[in-house]
């Protein structure tokens, strides 16, 4: 017998499917269409559709004829009728009293090359519908809504065209809603505020429990079990606009509404100010039956972002970095006192050179405090940290140097500082502590990457909001934090294997994340303790190695101190693993449970597999391999890994595309595999 919940879902499904069928999309094409054309567009493969309507809806919807959209997947509803519109300060909202003036359809079927990501040749294939709307009554303001349907997901954005009736603009809010068509839950990061570092767990939460006062961060991974579907809510092309969060909707259990971050000292009803023409970011929804595919398709955020703005990118070098901060500038058996000093930095550079790491990251503490004692003076260096000498020493060893800076210190003297860093020979900067994504801070990010590129400096943002595609225009933005990473092991037990296998399905959908892997003191369950110097990590050695494949980041740390790494099983894998890829395939995975990802670089393949505390037995197909034999070097959990997290077994075998790879992951375990063609 069907439950009442299931019967309600079937009735809603039928109603929304009929509604969608009533406005089915005509084949997409170029050219103008009249106002009577169907206001819907489908993906190239026909599976996804997004439709717009002007309709009057019963309670709990707002009264009157308003602007709505809905999303279907293979005819099944994903989003029920959800409100669209912009609420402008000083005037009525642009979400009702509207009429369609015109529509414009176009299609795109292209690819572009990305040398700094998880897939080199990126597909960019979609159908688009742009709808121009106008107020029926004076002052007849105009609003464009642009819809795109990809096979991987759908997206929409607003454009306020240049117009006499609306020149200067203050957007008070978006009336954008995301009304899921059935009972749903989400892996949600609800930090309750927008002035944060975006660092926290993604906890499974019924959408009905998300309150109107909540400030849930995106990406948001949503499961709709009755429909057998998943969806991921993201944003793309965040430029000169405020970051978007979502909260619940009073009286609508599975509905979310957009909320915009407000800059400090700015009125709450003016999170976005500007002039027409004004274009909002894309609101993006990836949809499908398997959330593992979303990891493969995270290039969608890049497709929806501005193309490369740099004429020459040959100087941008992805790579791995030695890093002193995580271990507490620690070293053993050395003839100097470890700390933030020249000798320690050179010691780490020597380690990087021996193991073919491209970078050394000199973190906080190299610059003296300013005269007011509040902000570092990044135009000088402390005598015990001779930054130019450190950089020169690194260059003599083939190791480039990155410098940490606090964002306000950089903002005060940006032009002078970046020119000075270039003169010193630095390769890039790590900018920290922004902890906001309001319009002012979004513009700061844009300024930093643009000016850094002028001085041939790469950028790593920490204390950062999550990626929204800026790295496509400025690929010198190699990575960013915006993730609760391994540093939390220094003071808490929050970096668990469960967290580790949740973030590939949530945070990583937005783009690269500087999680900072590489711990060599690996703690089995119940044996972890948080400590600041020579810290530990939960899970096994193989679990840590797998992060170098599973986690996307063109700049990745090797976080432990040199003596903790030297001679250790698994260091060979860290030395050889690439940081950018030609292709990516997710072999298996379930959010918060396990994940196995294969990535190709040249003619070699690399596999990373990770599990939560329950462990996992995996049987992975190798049908992605090319013709011929491959030597598989497998770094797997050793027989004692459940008790000793450092236990690692290294084996080699010959495999081909017709074989399968059996892996047994210990509790909190993993596996890291190199697959190289046999010559």
Q: Cα separation of 581 and 119, whole Å?
A: 6
358 close to 321: Cβ distance less than 8 angstroms:
yes
223 Cβ contact partners less than 8 Å away, ≥ 6 residues apart: 184, 185, 186, 229, 230, 291
**Which parts of the chain sit beneath pLDDT 70?**
1-37
In this prediction, residue 246 carries a pLDDT of 98
Q: Which CATH architecture has domain 4-303?
A: Distorted Sandwich (2.70)
Please, how many CA atoms are within 13 Å of residue 595, restricted to the half-sphere of its CB? 31
Q: Cα separation of 429 and 677, whole Å?
A: 37
Q: Cα separation of 578 and 580, whole Å?
A: 6
In this prediction, residue 1 carries a pLDDT of 33
In this prediction, residue 59 carries a pLDDT of 85
Neighbours of 371 (CB within 10 A): 8
> Taking the domains of the chain in order of start, what are their residue ranges?
4-303, 488-511+529-551+580-679
Segment 144-168, tens digit of pLDDT? 999 999 999 999 999 999 999 999 9
Q: Cα separation of 559 and 8, whole Å?
A: 52
- What's phi and psi for 71, nearest 5 deg? -130, 135
Segment 560-602, tens digit of pLDDT? 999 999 999 999 999 999 999 999 999 999 999 999 999 999 9
Peptide bond into 60 cis (omega under 30): yes
The torsion region of residue 435 among left (phi > 0), alpha (psi -120 to 50) and beta comes to: left
In this prediction, residue 16 carries a pLDDT of 34
Q: Looking at 261-318, which runs of residues are DSSP E strands?
A: 272-275, 278-279, 282-288
In this prediction, residue 9 carries a pLDDT of 34
Q: Cα separation of 425 and 402, whole Å?
A: 10
What's the predicted TM-score (pTM) here?
0.94
Q: Cα separation of 109 and 123, whole Å?
A: 8
CATH code of 488-511+529-551+580-679, in short, is: 2.60.40.1180
């Amino acid at each position: 017998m069907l439950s009442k919940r299931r019967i309600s879902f079937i009735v809603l499904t039928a109603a929304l499917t009929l509604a969608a069928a009533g406005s089915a999309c005509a084949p997409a094409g170029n050219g103008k269409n009249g106002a009577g054309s169907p206001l819907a567009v489908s993906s190239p493969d026909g599976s996804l559709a997004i439709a717009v309507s002007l309709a009057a809806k019963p309670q709990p919807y707002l009264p009157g004829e308003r602007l709505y959209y809905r999303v279907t997947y293979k005819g099944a509803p994903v989003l029920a009728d959800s409100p669209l519109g912009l609420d402008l300060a000083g005037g009525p909202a642009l979400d009702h009293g509207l009429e369609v003036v015109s529509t414009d359809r176009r299609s795109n079927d292209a690819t572009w090359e990305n040398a700094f990501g998880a897939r080199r040749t990126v597909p960019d294939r979609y159908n688009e519908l742009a709808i121009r709307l106008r107020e029926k009554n004076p002052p007849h303001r105009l609003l464009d809504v642009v819809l795109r349907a990809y096979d991987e997901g759908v997206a929409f954005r607003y454009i306020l065209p240049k117009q006499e009736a609306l020149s200067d603009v203050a957007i008070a809010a978006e009336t954008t809603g995301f009304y899921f068509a059935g009972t749903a839950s989400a892996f949600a990061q609800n930090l309750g505020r927008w002035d944060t570092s975006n660092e926290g767990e993604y906890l499974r939460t019924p959408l009905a429990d998300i309150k109107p006062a909540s400030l849930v961060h995106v990406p948001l991974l949503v499961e709709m079990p009755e429909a057998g579907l998943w969806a991921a809510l993201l944003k793309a092309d965040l430029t000169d606009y405020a970051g978007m969060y979502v909260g619940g909707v009073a009286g609508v259990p599975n509905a979310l509404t957009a909320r915009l971050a407000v800059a400090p000292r700015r009125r709450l009803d003016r999170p976005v100010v500007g002039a027409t023409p004004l274009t909002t970011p894309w609101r993006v929804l990836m949809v499908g039956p398997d959330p593992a595919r979303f990891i493969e398709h995270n290039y969608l955020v890049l497709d929806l972002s501005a193309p490369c703005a740099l004429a020459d990118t040959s100087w941008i070098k992805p790579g791995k970095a030695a890093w002193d901060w995580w271990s507490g500038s620690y070293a053993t058996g050395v003839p100097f006192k470890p700390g933030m000093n020249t000798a320690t930095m050179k010691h780490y550079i020597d380690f990087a050179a021996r193991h073919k790491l491209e970078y050394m990251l000199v973190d906080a503490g190299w610059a003296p405090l300013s005269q007011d004692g509040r902000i570092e003076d990044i135009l000088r260096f402390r005598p015990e940290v001779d930054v130019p000498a450190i950089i020169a020493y690194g260059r003599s060893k083939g190791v480039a140097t990155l410098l940490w800076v606090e964002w306000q210190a950089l903002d005060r003297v940006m032009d002078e500082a970046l020119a000075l860093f270039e003169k010193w020979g630095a390769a890039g900067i790590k900018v920290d502590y922004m902890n906001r994504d309001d319009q002012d801070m979004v513009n700061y990010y844009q300024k930093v990457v643009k000016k850094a590129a002028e001085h041939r400096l790469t950028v790593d943002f920490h204390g950062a909001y999550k990626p929204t595609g800026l790295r496509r225009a400025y690929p010198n933005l190699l990575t960013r934090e915006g993730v609760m990473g391994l540093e939390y092991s220094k003071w808490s037990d929050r970096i668990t294997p469960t967290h580790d296998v949740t973030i590939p399905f949530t945070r990583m959908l937005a783009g690269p994340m500087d999680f900072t892997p590489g711990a060599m003191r690996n703690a089995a369950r119940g044996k972890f303790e948080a400590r600041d110097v020579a810290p530990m990590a939960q899970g096994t050695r193989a679990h840590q190695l797998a992060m170098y494949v599973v986690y996307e980041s063109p700049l990745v740390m090797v976080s432990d101190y040199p003596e903790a790494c030297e001679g250790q099983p698994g260091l060979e894998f860290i030395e050889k693993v690439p940081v950018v890829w030609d292709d990516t395939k997710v072999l298996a995975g379930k959010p918060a449970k396990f994940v196995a990802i294969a990535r190709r670089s040249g003619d070699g393949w690399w596999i990373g597999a990770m599990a939560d505390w329950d462990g996992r037995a995996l049987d992975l197909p190798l049908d992605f391999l090319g013709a011929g034999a491959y030597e598989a070097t497998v770094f797997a959990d050793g027989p004692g890994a459940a008790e000793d997290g450092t236990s690692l077994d290294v084996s080699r075998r010959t495999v081909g595309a017709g074989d399968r790879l059996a892996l047994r992951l210990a509790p909190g375990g993993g596996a890291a595999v190199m697959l190289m063609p046999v010559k």
